[in-house]
Amino acid sequence: MSWISTFTRRHPIPAYAATAYTFSWVAWGLQYRQPDPMGSVGTLLFLLGGLGPLVAGIVVARLVGSFDEFRDRLFRWRVSPVWYVVSIGGPLVVLVTFVAIDSALSDGQLRLTGLQPLTTLPGAILIGLVLGGFEEPGWRGFAQVRLQKRHSALAASGIVAVMWVVWHLPLFVLPGTSQSEFPFVPFAVMGLTLTIIFTWLFNSSGGSVPVLVLAHGAYNGALGWSGLLETGNQSLAVLIIGLGLSSLVPVFVSGTSALSTDPESRADSTAPAR
């Protein structure tokens, strides 16, 4: 066991990735072997696998001696209400805009007919929280923070994006998942653009994991609610190009080093790596 602790202290990011992958991929592998992968047992294994980044963050933070800092970010909910509005309202505004653009490109009229009934939106966001939001303690609360101690915020975002995309790979062959019906390259591009946007939100909110949990859940829920993934290649192109352009805004406005509305608020940017 001592060699694991030694390796983890020396290489916390590879150790984090290995722990997240192992935990999630074993659960999803067991799910794949179920007679009905999306039955009750399969669904439980699917949800369990989604906790891999959180579990990895907890385990590795304890081994490297930074658990108190990790826990503080996990419960850092006392931030400006503006960031909670942005975390939920931002994805909604952006995706509704993409639906309108997609409609205009299709028939020359700005219409929102592709949206699901508004009454279904709260439930969609709640599902999004369960299926994506609980990843954030690991990706942002642990990996992003540690990487930013040695790299610019943009470079750290790129590394996290790669880890995030690779983590999802088994889901592309698992029947019944959204990834199994999603082309890989657009998904990878979406992962990079979202990671940049999430980094900006995380750093701007002073490293608040609750804000990012809401943002990730709101995006996942609003994406399903928008219907953009159900209407063909043009809608997918609008989504990916729109997210790409959106991710450029914080880069040009805030700069690659901080990716924050206030460089001094960048999450733990001055804390020594441990």
Contact status, residue 102 vs residue 231, Cβ threshold 8 Å: yes
What CA–CA distance (Å, rounded) separates 70 from 12? 13
- Residue 16 domain-assigned (yes or no): no
- Residue 2 domain-assigned (yes or no): no
pLDDT attached to residue 232: 73
CA torsion 13-16-20-25 (nearest 10°) is 70
- Residue 21 domain-assigned (yes or no): no
- Residue 68 domain-assigned (yes or no): no
Residue corresponding to tokens 């991929």: 25
- Residue 57 domain-assigned (yes or no): no
- Residue 193 domain-assigned (yes or no): yes
pLDDT attached to residue 109: 75
What CA–CA distance (Å, rounded) separates 198 from 23? 24
What CA–CA distance (Å, rounded) separates 175 from 248? 34
- Residue 29 domain-assigned (yes or no): no
Q: What is the pTM of this model?
A: 0.92
- What is the Cα gyration radius of the chain? 19
Question: Domains in the chain: how many in total?
Answer: 1
pLDDT attached to residue 231: 64
pLDDT attached to residue 77: 94
- 13: closest CA among 155, 170, 211? 155
- Residue 101 domain-assigned (yes or no): yes
pLDDT tens for the chain, 274 residues long, are: 578 888 999 999 999 999 999 999 999 999 999 999 999 999 999 999 999 999 999 999 999 999 999 999 999 999 999 999 999 999 999 999 999 999 888 877 777 777 888 899 999 999 999 889 999 999 999 999 999 999 999 999 999 999 999 999 999 999 999 899 889 999 999 999 999 999 999 999 999 999 999 999 999 999 999 988 876 788 999 999 999 999 999 999 888 888 988 765 566 544 433 3
What is the residue range of 248's domain? Answer: 78-265
pLDDT attached to residue 274: 34
pLDDT attached to residue 21: 98
- 222: closest CA among 118, 102, 83? 118
